[in-house]
Amino acid sequence: MFEQTFAAELAKRIGSRVEVATDNNLIEGILSTVTAELVLVIEVSSGYGPNTKLYVSVDAINFVRFPVAA
């Protein structure tokens, strides 16, 4: 039940810069898509390479942070 509420709150912030922490990773990028089970974060590269799309299971997320632009 918590995952549904969590996913609904994340969906309100699509397009925002986000930091998503799991047990093994800290993913930084743009929150692109949210479903009941998955979150898509696009890591924007600062170089010439392509952007990386990362799908994260909602139940694997430990915390989410929305950094404030300085």
pLDDT in tens, 38-63: 999 998 877 788 889 999 999 999 99
Of 30, 55, 25, the C-alpha closest to 45 is 30
- Averaged pLDDT of the chain: 91
Of 25, 29, 34, the C-alpha closest to 3 is 34
Stated pTM of the model = 0.86
At residue 45, the pLDDT reads 73
Tell me the mean pLDDT in the region 10-31: 95
At residue 70, the pLDDT reads 60
Q: Return the percentage of the chain with pLDDT > 90, whole number.
A: 77
